[in-house]
Amino acid sequence: MSDQIKNAHIEWRDGTIPIANAFDDPYFSINDGLAETRFVFLDGNGLPNRFRDGFHVGELGFGTGLNLLATWQAWIDAGFETPLRFTSFEAFPMTLSDMRQALANWPALNALAEEMLVQLETGWTVQTPTLDARIVIGDARETLPIWDGRVDAWFLDGFSPAKNPELWDANLMKAVGDCTATGGTFATYSAAGFVRNRLADSGFEVSRKDGFGRKRHMSVGVKQ
């Protein structure tokens, strides 16, 4: 791991919920982060029903790695033996010790979590017969516009737009649209009007739907 990387500074709520100091926001729902991931990002993108060989998930905000692990597990459970492609953009990665502590909340994911963490000790990639993942470190406003990938489903999982507006920047949302395959989708827990408008301006047909837990609404969309 490069000494130049600026790791996230974390505080812990009840020893189990990581809070990002810079944004004063938790990394996942205090109710059930795994259920939230499945509801917002998997169900919100029509997964696992849309999975096919070569399917590519893009993500803004790697965080604890929970979204990757939940998606990887769903891919395996769906019977795929080829690699799921997963690219995540993260400016301030958690330390691996913080990731391990956070992911201990979900023992059912332990085996996959340990495989991920062991590989991340030597670089920001995870490669197995069923996963080809890369975490792109740096400001997504700089790294995504020059990326040449095409995504089938986006997980837009930055911190709250009110606290982390940079990850919902209009130019960044345009880059999300530019890097989405026709018929590709996005899902996000955010229902903020300006977020939905920027994604609509970026080529998505945007809808609002019921949110997870106490959150009234979330947003999903399809690239036209």
Q: In the predicted model, is pLDDT for residue 69 greater than 70?
A: yes
164-217, pLDDT tens digit by residue?
Answer: 888 899 999 999 999 999 999 999 999 999 999 999 999 999 999 999 988 889
The Cα angle at residue 72 between residues 70 and 77, in degrees rounded to 5: 95
Strands (E), the chain: 10-13, 17-20, 25-26, 56-60, 84-90, 125-128, 131-137, 151-156, 180-188, 204-210, 217-223
97-149, pLDDT tens digit by residue?
Answer: 999 998 999 999 999 999 999 999 999 999 999 999 999 999 999 999 999 99
The alpha carbon of 153 is separated from its chain's Cα centroid by a whole number of angstroms, namely 10
* Residues in contact with 140: Cβ distance below 8 Å, sequence separation at least 6, in sequence order: 60, 89, 90, 91, 167, 172, 175
What does CATH list as the number for 10-223? Answer: 3.40.50.150
CA trace torsion 96, 99, 103, 109 (10° rounding):
-50
Q: What is the pLDDT of residue 1?
A: 37
pLDDT: which is higher, 214 or 70: 70
> pLDDT confidence of 30, banded at 50, 70, 90?
low
Reading the block at residue 82, the tokens are: 């080829």
> Quick one: which of 12, 64, 29, 47 has its CA closest to 186?
47
> Quick one: which of 211, 198, 223, 1 has its CA closest to 97?
1
Mean pLDDT, range 49-77, rounded to an integer: 97
> pLDDT confidence of 3, banded at 50, 70, 90?
very low
Q: Show me where the domains of the chain are located.
A: 10-223
